Amino acid sequence: MTKFSELNISETTQKALLRMGFEEATPIQEGTITFGMEGRDVIGQAQTGTGKTAAFGIPIIEKLDPKSTAVQALVIAPTRELAIQVSEEIYKVGYGSRAKVLSVYGGQEIGRQIRALRNNPNIVVGTPGRILDHINRKTLKLDHVQTLVLDEADEMLNMGFIEDINTILASVPAERQTLLFSATMPAPIRKIAETFMKNPEVVKIKSKEMTVENIEQFFVKSHEREKFDVLSRLLNVQQPELAIVFGRTKRRVDELAHALSIRGYIAEGIHGDLTQAKRMSVLRQFKDNKIDVLVATDVAARGLDISGVTHVYNFDIPQDPESYVHRIGRTGRAGKNGVAVTFVTPREMGYLRIVEETTKKRMTPLRPPTSDEALLEQKKNAVDSLVEVIEQNNSEDYAGLAAQLLEKHDAKEVVAAALKSLTKSVDETPVTISEERPLPSRRPSSSRSGGGYKGGNRSGGGRSQGGRGRSSSAGGSTRRSSGPRDGARRDGGSRRSSSNRSER
């Protein structure tokens, strides 16, 4: 691995990177920084989680003139969550340079963004619809942009932003550096590269091998309105020591955490709208076993280093296999076994098959327990807990109290009462969870080519999950501005409402 000190980066930026805990460059960073510092256009083909933000953030900061009041770099990202994350990381990279970074995205009051733009940010990070809105309002002036970055270009294509991107690119000076990042290179993305880039260098990084060893993987086929009750019963039956529940949007995370709390679980949510201090506080409580269930979005969970997670529940199936592998990789660490359960609505079964194609591993269909079955499992768990205490043979301090109870009550009644007190009642208090639209219909490549799965139905029947899961084998004032919590919206454009996923 190459150290950042070997890449001709300024001492100020190196110190900022050390503050972030970065010493060695990842392959995408090494390649992109080298060409980026030379002013070359770059096409970076790499998956999420490979360090792309620092790869383009470092050349931007190195070329920046902090004394200038003009916008010198523009970064376009597909979702507001990614825009916030990218702006935060670039701000940290440019900490010593006092770079002003601003994120703009739909769903946030535009007047607030206009006022922030008057503070003369050096770098603007935003979603296509909102950037275009500011261009049309003449509140974002791009005459002095030296570097333009398209982050996750294929995702922006999937979300219908291609026309907006073409318009934005035409509004930026022709004499500029362009950095384009995309996990895949479909024809429309290649056309952007041919039209708007000059002899780009290609930095291609192989995606990491998707290993999901030591993790038992299940799927539950369930309608949207039934998912939360099923999740509650599974938590009761499997009794995870530490569990993470993944939701697709910030609204979803807030509602799930609240609903789980109503049902008697100690649950907290993390997502991009929380302050860094709040996020750190929640994670600290989770690591200290003060929280039973952590509810998180993909973006908020990136980079989490948490050991001891026994179960991961994908309340919403992610739209790409990489996110799935990243999510379930939170469990089954350090040689321990883990359990992953993914909820799939009937219309999203195509995504399940795509995940299976990528991981080369079939998920086991899981029949969720009924209320009666969940209660029965709770009773069995209570018996196991009592037997475990007896076998530990360390309850001498309670022998006297036990003798007093047995003088007044029948032994069977005493044991029954003890078991009842240990049994967590099946709480089905009504809760409110807003329904999310299913992901757009998608078929696996084998289906598109006339193949498909053979043998084994995918009806969601099969094994019922009983027994205790744990024994299963298986800066600056303009740096960013946080908008209202309307997690259902991704960008300001009303015509982009085909799906309801603000965070990936």
On whether both 72 and 219 belong to a single domain, the answer is: no
On whether both 60 and 183 belong to a single domain, the answer is: yes
Q: Is the dihedral of CA 13, 14, 17, 22 positive or negative?
A: positive
On whether both 18 and 103 belong to a single domain, the answer is: yes
pLDDT digits (tens, 9 = 90+) for 150-184: 998 988 987 889 999 999 999 999 999 999 998 88
Domain of 298, CATH number, reads: 3.40.50.300
On whether both 157 and 229 belong to a single domain, the answer is: no
* Residue 210 located in a structural domain: no
* Residue 400 located in a structural domain: no
Q: Is the dihedral of CA 188, 189, 190, 193 positive or negative?
A: positive
On whether both 193 and 282 belong to a single domain, the answer is: no
CB 11 within 8 A of CB 95: no
Averaged confidence pLDDT in the chain? 81
Q: Looking at the 3D structure of the chain, how many domains does it have? A: 2
Please tell me the predicted confidence (pLDDT) of residue 495: 33
CB 354 within 8 A of CB 444: yes
**Residue whose structure tokens are 């080298």:** 34
Domain membership of residue 342 as a residue range: 215-371+459-471
Strands 42-45 and 338-344: unpaired
On whether both 97 and 140 belong to a single domain, the answer is: yes
* Residue 188 located in a structural domain: yes
Tokens of 443: 């078929």
On whether both 61 and 118 belong to a single domain, the answer is: yes
Please tell me the predicted confidence (pLDDT) of residue 470: 36
On whether both 193 and 240 belong to a single domain, the answer is: no
Q: How many Å apart are CA 12 and CA 158, to the nearest integer?
A: 38
476: left (phi over 0), alpha (psi -120 to 50) or beta: left
Spatial CB neighbours of 433, under 8 Å, sequence gap ≥ 6:
227, 228, 252, 255, 256, 259
* Residue 8 located in a structural domain: yes
* Residue 451 located in a structural domain: no
Residue by residue, pLDDT tens for the chain (504 residues) are: 688 889 999 999 999 988 877 878 888 899 999 999 999 999 998 766 567 899 999 999 999 998 899 999 999 999 888 899 899 999 999 988 889 999 999 888 999 999 999 999 999 999 999 999 999 999 999 999 999 999 989 889 878 899 999 999 999 999 999 999 988 888 889 999 999 999 999 998 765 544 567 889 999 999 999 999 999 999 988 989 899 999 988 899 999 999 999 988 999 998 877 776 787 788 889 888 899 899 998 766 655 656 788 999 999 998 777 778 878 888 876 667 899 999 999 989 988 988 888 778 899 999 888 777 767 776 777 777 788 888 888 887 888 888 888 888 888 888 888 777 776 665 667 787 888 877 766 555 443 333 333 333 344 444 545 443 433 333 333 443 333 333 333 344 333 333 333 333
Domain end: 174, 204, 234, which one?
Answer: 204
On whether both 160 and 220 belong to a single domain, the answer is: no
On whether both 130 and 267 belong to a single domain, the answer is: no
On whether both 90 and 146 belong to a single domain, the answer is: yes
pLDDT digits (tens, 9 = 90+) for 453-492: 333 334 444 454 544 343 333 333 344 333 333 333 334 4
